[in-house]
Amino acid sequence: MSWAGIDVGGRRKGFHGAAVDGTKVIKGPHRLGGVDEVMRWLFAIEPEVVALDSPKTCARRGERSRECERELMKAICGIRWTPEAAELEGNKYYEWIRCGRELYEALKRETSRRGWQVIEVFPTASWTVWAGKRGETRARWTHEALAGMKLEGLPSRRINQDDRDAIAAALTARLHSEGQTTNFGEIVVPAQMCVRCVPAGRCRSGTPSAVGAR
């Protein structure tokens, strides 16, 4: 059984994917050029859950953000707003969201046939739950958090922020299958647990309480 995480970027940046199997990184993290390449990569893995770091939906007409984003910001950390759909077109800044929507559409065509579950995640929220609020550079903060997990299968090369976010997305997907997450609307966030307990999927003291559970 495996779980996949996808960090979404614009067309030039592309996607970054990682897959985990229990406490081990089994694929990636590496860059995937476009939607077709992501889908071929997923076909080879056949994950139980695919977690995308990209908005599933847009804000309601006339609004500048989604309710779930506003709730997550109050409870955990800052997040970039997703505007209404009309604001996405022709705006270079939102190209990454458009790429994410294309991937969601491709996944939608395959989920019923393959049995995949597709969820929206926000790796910064995952890192915040696991490692506490950021008090230093994002790169150092996530690097130290990932090192504290002592995951097997990490590449020997230096991995970048997109790689780490893809791993966080995959781990969040796994925790979701295990019932160790909570939802802010469409955004899936891990339950409260310290970094060293993430590979086990639970804190040593027992089942953790969920952050912002409702």
Q: Which of 93, 19, 98 is nearest to 55 (CA)?
A: 98
Residue 173's pLDDT is 97
For residue 211, pLDDT beyond 60: no
The Cα–Cα gap between 154 and 124 comes to 20
∠ at Cα 23 (165, 177), nearest 5°? 75
Of all residues in the chain, the percent with pLDDT exceeding 90 is 80
For residue 199, pLDDT beyond 90: no
Contact criterion met (CB below 8 Å) for 4 and 19: yes
Map tokens 């939802």 to a residue: 183
Pairing of strands 187-190, 181-184: antiparallel
CATH number of the domain that 61 lies in? 3.30.420.10
* 107 is a domain residue: yes
Q: Name the pLDDT band for 207 (thresholds 50, 70, 90).
A: very low
Contact criterion met (CB below 8 Å) for 181 and 190: yes
Q: Which of 172, 189, 17, 28 is nearest to 103 (CA)?
A: 17
* 202 is a domain residue: no
First and final C-alpha spacing in the chain:
29
* 205 is a domain residue: no
Domain of residue 125 covers: 3-197
For residue 46, pLDDT beyond 50: yes
- Mean pLDDT to the nearest integer, 41-52: 97
Contact criterion met (CB below 8 Å) for 210 and 188: no
Q: Which of the 8 DSSP states describes residue 191?
A: P
Residue 202's pLDDT is 64
* 207 is a domain residue: no
Answer whether the bond into residue 29 is a cis peptide, omega within 30°: yes
For residue 44, pLDDT beyond 70: yes
For residue 212, pLDDT beyond 70: no
Which residues make beta-bridge pairs with 25?
Answer: 20
pLDDT in tens, 88-114: 988 999 999 999 999 999 999 998 889
* 10 is a domain residue: yes
* 204 is a domain residue: no
Number of H helices, E strands in the chain: 6, 7
* 37 is a domain residue: yes
Residue 194 corresponds to which amino acid? C
- Count of domains for the chain: 1
